[in-house]
């Protein structure tokens, strides 16, 4: 568990110049460098200076859009991005403690490839890797692959029977995807490499396992080509807004990112996930529930509000989000986080409205404030992301079977 | 007038799953920890090599129905480890094999374009094909691709990724804070590809990368493979590093370029080679014999014979004579998950030839397998190795070599410290990187230059 009963976990969600669509126009933004290694290295190093548990890196298989369902053809916002797994791998050797958690899209990618990619990220970060699972029903992204088609799907379609069926199907597929990825991570026992010169055997093949997964969308034989990663099981996380994704978090994830707007809502979400977790037989496992918040932070609340207004004006519309938006001081945010934590959230993933401004405000304003309240670590207490999250290194499911 | 000396290209291959790494050597380190890859890459960069190369495997090899356990087994994901290596090197090219069968063009294009951005223009792709259902059992697509379609899918795959790479011209990102214009063109990245294997459209979401397109490598020795390389690749991994075979391959492949409107210098020919160094030639020869004995245990020798015989030969004595039975002519089922000897030649002919050679030289099975090891090895003192490499390149055996040491990760250290300076003294090898991108190192055109010419004309 956490280092102290009141200690929070903190993550930061990195996306381009920041989460506000006009963030790139701020003087501190580096809009011409969003596709460079230096930009990402600097952001993650800043997050590590703040002793954060992890960074997530957003991704998608299509251009960014102000529409949730289709491209918008806009030229006044950041468009174009790099593959999140590669960004994570590029920054990992240059950091030492912070978790690196790229987004992966389950809908169009191969669990075999992703399993070895995240296992390798765990090797290159020496035990700090995770993934953030995402599904997509966007028709235009499916057209980039040409293997499946989706009907046009808007926010209202969640309520129709066909919409529900589509969403349920995508999340069932994602659950299978995680199951394949996790089995592949376990498909080598930790001591499978024996280098036994007397028999000439490099591995003990009895410690390698076919995963033989068969589901609606995949049939994957295994074993992985990559040995079991340092953490055994890197961290699996997902953003969730409703019952179906809550169930995925409860069954398959180590961290769920949720978006309650007050303590009451937070309590309800936590209760729903805990109930699902128990139903899935995972009641004794640690599943973190992090609240997601977009943050505009300044030492003077009026300055923060004015900055948000200025950005909205540049964007031509008020900023809205799936997550609650906090505008104010680091101390005010610390109050809110502690209030939400009391409702059962175990940590937070903060989305800096302007990466170049609000990330340092988190690391140099919020973090010291939480430390003063004895609610956040003063130094990294573990070498792995699992360690930072208070998770033990899991036993290998196949080894356990063998000794049972 | 003598013609000017060719400049030698050198690169390093971190051996993945293989039977040449002497993993039992006390100096052999991890083949999976990142520190090994970082050491190997830093040494390669110290040697001013053009690039580091990683091969790919998507299913563990099996033999006789069991996972093959005698070689190094296990490897990292290509893209992930290359991106991480970009963090610990500044100039070294980063070349990875990625299969065109069990991937999709949009995803591979965005991974290579991302790697090129994150490395400042050092990405290269070795395009390979596969069709087999054995590997397909790990993937959604399964193993349904008919063998004869593998090059057709590969060609269309590469053409499609090129369309995606070219879908951004490189000048679209204005990021003009004052006017609020981020992109100059709302249609940046737009593409439509309708073909036999891919029917896709939309907008590519990675803007043009420093090299425009990654450098393209190809391996494959068939007629189709040679033509594919001559038409579409920047470099080809050749299997031929001996004098006569190498020259024949070199002449053949370079001769094919004109058919595609290309110059001979637009395709580099780079065979794989190993090396063994000693203080004297005699010492190196002795060491090389020891290395070969370490690489080919009795058990390994029998398994290698099974690749050709396609039969269980476990009852044979590796120190005894070759089997007098003939290879099983049926479908190859004994060894799975490797590019088999049987793909290239008639196994009965190989068996006949091997029996004759073994009888004439009084070789055991193990001796035979050691002697027929198919890679060029440069063996000798540093001076001898430098001379031989240079002679081979000047004689058009190749444009350079991709070196795979038998020890990882430290196996390049001695080559770097002792052979590279000799090549530099002779003026046939760079003393500093002249440019920053892999295209610079390889002397290749930038794809944008060709496009600019087209647009100007």
**Cα–Cα distance measured from residue A102 to residue A114, given in angstroms and rounded to the nearest whole number:** 11
Please count the CA atoms within 13 angstroms of the CA of A78 that sit on its side-chain side.
22
Beta carbons of A189 and A396 less than 8 angstroms apart? yes
* Minimum distance, in Å, between the CA of residue B342 and any CA atom of chain A: 24
> Token digits for B125?
């792709």
Say whether B84 and A221 touch across the interface (CB within 8 A).
no
* Displacement of CA B381 from its chain's centroid (Å): 26
Say whether B77 and A120 touch across the interface (CB within 8 A).
yes
Q: Among candidates B210, B212, B171, which has minimal Cα distance to B91?
A: B210
**Cα–Cα distance measured from residue B238 to residue B83, given in angstroms and rounded to the nearest whole number:** 26
Say whether B87 and A205 touch across the interface (CB within 8 A).
no
In chain A, residues 167-226 whose CB comes closer than 8 Å to chain B:
188, 193, 195, 197, 199-205, 208, 217-223, 225-226
**Cα–Cα distance measured from residue A84 to residue A82, given in angstroms and rounded to the nearest whole number:** 6
- Among all residues of chain A, which has the CA nearest to that of B170? A80
**What per-residue confidence (pLDDT) applies to A2?**
42
> Token digits for B2?
């003598």
Q: Which residues of B touch A116 (CB under 8 A)?
A: 76-77, 80
Q: Which residues of B touch A24 (CB under 8 A)?
A: 175, 177, 182
Beta carbons of B233 and B214 less than 8 angstroms apart? no
* Displacement of CA B395 from its chain's centroid (Å): 22
- Among all residues of chain A, which has the CA nearest to that of B161? A144
Q: Which residues of B touch A92 (CB under 8 A)?
A: 84, 87
- Taking the Cβ of residue A378 and every Cβ of chain B, the question of whether any pair is shorter than 8 Å is answered with no
Beta carbons of A54 and A130 less than 8 angstroms apart? yes
**What per-residue confidence (pLDDT) applies to B221?**
81
> Token digits for A281?
């037989």
Q: Among candidates A154, A367, A383, A122, which has minimal Cα distance to A236?
A: A122
Question: What's the N-to-C CA distance of chain B in angstroms?
Answer: 37
- Taking the Cβ of residue A310 and every Cβ of chain B, the question of whether any pair is shorter than 8 Å is answered with no
Beta carbons of B183 and A79 less than 8 angstroms apart? yes
**Cα–Cα distance measured from residue B153 to residue B140, given in angstroms and rounded to the nearest whole number:** 17
* Minimum distance, in Å, between the CA of residue B243 and any CA atom of chain A: 34
Q: Which residues contact A278 (CB under 8 A, 6 or more apart)?
A: none
Q: What is the DSSP string of A129-189?
A: BEEEEE----HHHHHTTTS-------GGGGGSHHHHHHHHHHHHHHHHHHHHHHHHHHSB-
Q: Which residues contact A102 (CB under 8 A, 6 or more apart)?
A: A56, A57, A59, A84, A85, A87, A88, A121, A131, A132
Q: Which residues of B touch A223 (CB under 8 A)?
A: 60, 67
A312-330: pLDDT as tens digits? 999 999 999 999 999 999 9
Q: Which residues of B touch A197 (CB under 8 A)?
A: 24
Give strand pairing partners of B377: B274
In order along its 404 residues, chain A shows pLDDT tens digits of 344 546 899 999 999 999 999 999 999 999 999 999 999 999 999 999 999 999 999 999 999 999 988 999 999 999 999 999 999 999 999 999 999 999 999 999 999 999 999 999 999 999 999 999 999 999 999 999 999 999 887 777 778 898 899 999 999 999 999 999 999 999 999 999 999 989 999 999 999 999 999 999 899 999 999 999 999 999 999 999 999 999 999 999 999 999 999 999 999 999 999 999 999 999 999 999 999 999 999 999 999 999 999 999 999 999 999 999 999 999 999 999 999 999 999 999 999 999 999 999 999 999 999 999 999 999 999 999 999 999 999 999 999 655 54
> Token digits for A404?
């049972």
> Token digits for B313?
């030969």
**Cα–Cα distance measured from residue B252 to residue B418, given in angstroms and rounded to the nearest whole number:** 34
B396-435: pLDDT as tens digits? 999 999 999 999 999 999 999 999 999 999 999 999 999 9
Which stretches of chain B drop beneath a pLDDT of 50?
A: none
C-beta pairs of A153-156 under 8 Å, 24+ apart in sequence: A153/A69, A154/A68, A154/A69, A155/A68
Q: What percentage of chain A carries pLDDT values higher than 90?
A: 92
Helix or strand run (H / E) with residue B94: strand B93-99
* Minimum distance, in Å, between the CA of residue A120 and any CA atom of chain B: 5
β-pairing verdict for B93-99 and B123-128: parallel
> Token digits for B138?
């790990």
**Cα–Cα distance measured from residue A262 to residue A340, given in angstroms and rounded to the nearest whole number:** 7
**What per-residue confidence (pLDDT) applies to B331?**
78
Helix or strand run (H / E) with residue B28: none
> Token digits for B441?
């190192």
Q: Which residues contact A43 (CB under 8 A, 6 or more apart)?
A: A14, A55, A355, A359
Phi-psi region of B455 (alpha: psi -120 to 50; beta: other; left: phi over 0): alpha
- Give the number of beta-carbon pairs within 8 Å between A and B: 225
Q: What angle do helix axes B105-118 and A84-91 make, rounded to 10 degrees?
A: 30
Say whether B138 and A221 touch across the interface (CB within 8 A).
yes
- Among all residues of chain A, which has the CA nearest to that of B83? A90
Say whether B77 and A61 touch across the interface (CB within 8 A).
no
Q: Which residues of B touch A113 (CB under 8 A)?
A: 77, 102-103
Say whether B66 and A205 touch across the interface (CB within 8 A).
yes
pTM for this prediction: 0.96
Q: Which residues of B touch A60 (CB under 8 A)?
A: 205
Exposed (0-12), middle (13-18) or buried (19+): which is B408, by Cβ within 10 Å?
buried
Q: Which residues of B touch A31 (CB under 8 A)?
A: 175, 177, 182
Q: Which residues of B touch A41 (CB under 8 A)?
A: 87
Identity of the residue in B103, B106, B297 whose CB atom sits nearest the CB atom of A61: B106
**Cα–Cα distance measured from residue B225 to residue B129, given in angstroms and rounded to the nearest whole number:** 10
**Cα–Cα distance measured from residue B98 to residue B119, given in angstroms and rounded to the nearest whole number:** 18
**What per-residue confidence (pLDDT) applies to B457?**
53
Identity of the residue in B79, B140, B300 whose CB atom sits nearest the CB atom of A86: B79
> Best of B81, B118, B132, B204 to disrupt the A interface by mutation (most A CBs within 10 Å)?
B118
ipTM reported for the complex, 2 dp: 0.97
Beta carbons of B428 and B110 less than 8 angstroms apart? no
């Amino acid at each position: 568990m956490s280092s102290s009963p009141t200690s929070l976990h903190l993550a930061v969600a990195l996306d381009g110049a920041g989460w506000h669509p006009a963030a790139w126009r701020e003087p501190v933004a580096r809009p011409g460098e969003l596709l460079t290694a230096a930009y990402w290295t600097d952001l993650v190093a800043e997050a590590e200076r703040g002793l954060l548990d992890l960074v997530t890196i957003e991704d998608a298989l299509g251009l960014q859009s102000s529409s949730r369902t289709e491209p918008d053809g806009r030229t006044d916002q950041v468009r174009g991005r790099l593959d999140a797994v590669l960004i994570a791998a590029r920054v990992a050797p240059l950091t030492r403690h912070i978790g690196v958690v790229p987004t992966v899209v389950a809908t169009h990618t191969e669990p075999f490839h992703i399993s070895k990619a995240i296992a390798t990220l765990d090797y290159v970060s020496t035990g700090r890797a995770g993934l953030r699972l995402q599904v997509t029903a966007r028709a235009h992204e499916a057209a980039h692959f040409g293997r499946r088609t989706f009907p046009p799907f808007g926010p209202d379609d969640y309520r129709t029977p066909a919409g529900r069926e589509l969403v349920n199907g995508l999340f069932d597929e994602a659950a299978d995807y995680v199951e394949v990825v996790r089995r592949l991570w376990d498909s080598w026992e930790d001591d499978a490499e024996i280098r036994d010169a007397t028999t000439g055997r490099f591995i003990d093949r009895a410690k390698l396992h076919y995963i033989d997964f068969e589901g609606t969308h995949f049939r994957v034989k295994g074993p992985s080509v990559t040995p079991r990663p340092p953490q055994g099981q890197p961290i699996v996380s997902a953003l969730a807004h409703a019952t179906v994704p809550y169930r995925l978090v409860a069954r398959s994830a180590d961290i769920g990112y949720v978006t309650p707007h007050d303590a009451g809502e937070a309590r309800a979400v936590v209760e729903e996930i805990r109930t699902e977790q128990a139903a899935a037989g995972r009641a004794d496992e640690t599943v973190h529930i992090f609240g997601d918040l977009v943050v505009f932070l300044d030492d003077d609340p009026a300055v923060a509000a004015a900055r948000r207004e200025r950005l909205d004006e540049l964007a031509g519309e008020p900023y809205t989000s799936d997550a609650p938006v906090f505008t104010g001081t680091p101390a005010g945010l610390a109050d809110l986080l502690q209030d939400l934590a009391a409702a059962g959230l175990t940590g937070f993933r903060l989305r800096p409205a302007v990466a170049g401004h609000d990330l340092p405000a988190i690391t140099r304003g919020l973090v010291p404030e939480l430390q003063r309240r004895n609610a956040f670590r003063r130094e990294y207490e573990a070498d792995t992301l699992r360690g930072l999250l208070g998770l033990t290194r899991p036993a290998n499911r196949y080894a356990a079977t063998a000794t049972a | 007038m003598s013609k000017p000396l060719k400049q030698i290209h050198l690169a390093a291959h971190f051996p993945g799953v293989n039977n040449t790494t002497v993993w039992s050597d006390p100096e052999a380190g991890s083949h999976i920890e990142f520190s090994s890859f970082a050491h190997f890459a830093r040494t390669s960069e110290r040697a001013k090599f053009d690039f580091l190369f990683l091969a790919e495997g998507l299913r563990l090899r099996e033999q006789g129905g069991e996972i093959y356990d005698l070689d190094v087994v296990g490897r990292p994901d290509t893209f992930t480890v290359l991106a991480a290596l970009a963090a610990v090197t500044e100039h070294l090219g980063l070349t990875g094999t990625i299969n065109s069968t069990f991937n999709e063009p949009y995803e591979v294009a965005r991974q290579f374009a991302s790697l090129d951005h994150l490395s400042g223009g050092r990405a290269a792709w070795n395009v390979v094909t596969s069709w087999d259902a054995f590997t397909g059992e790990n993937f959604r697509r399964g193993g349904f691709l008919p063998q004869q379609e593998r090059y057709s899918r590969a060609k269309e795959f590469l053409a499609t990724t090129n369309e995606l790479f070219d879908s951004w011209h490189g000048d679209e990102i204005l990021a003009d804070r004052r006017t609020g214009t981020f992109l100059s063109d709302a249609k940046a990245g737009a593409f439509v590809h309708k073909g036999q294997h891919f029917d896709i459209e939309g907008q590519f979401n990675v803007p043009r990368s420093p090299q425009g397109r990654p450098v393209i490598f190809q391996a494959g020795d068939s007629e189709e493979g040679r033509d594919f390389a001559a038409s579409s690749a920047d470099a080809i991994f050749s299997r031929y590093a001996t004098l006569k075979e190498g020259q024949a391959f070199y002449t053949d492949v370079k001769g094919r370029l004109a058919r595609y409107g290309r110059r001979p210098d637009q395709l580099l020919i780079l065979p794989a080679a190993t090396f063994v160094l000693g203080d004297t030639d005699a010492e190196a020869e002795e060491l090389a014999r020891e290395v070969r004995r370490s690489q080919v245990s009795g058990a390994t020798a029998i398994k290698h014979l099974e690749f050709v015989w396609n039969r269980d030969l476990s009852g044979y004595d590796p120190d005894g004579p070759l089997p007098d039975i003939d290879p099983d002519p049926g479908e190859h089922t004994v060894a799975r998950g490797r590019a088999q000897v049987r793909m290239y030649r008639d196994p009965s002919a190989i068996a006949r030839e091997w029996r004759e050679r073994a009888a004439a030289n009084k070789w055991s099975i193990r001796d035979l397998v050691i002697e027929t090891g198919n890679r060029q090895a440069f063996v000798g003192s540093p001076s001898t190795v430098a001379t031989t490499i240079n002679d081979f390149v000047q004689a058009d055996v190749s444009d350079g070599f991709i070196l795979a040491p038998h020890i990882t990760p430290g196996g390049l250290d001695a080559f770097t410290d002792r052979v590279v300076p000799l090549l530099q003294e002779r003026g046939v090898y760079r003393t500093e990187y002249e440019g920053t991108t892999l295209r610079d190192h390889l002397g290749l055109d930038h794809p944008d230059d060709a496009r600019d010419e087209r647009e100007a004309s």
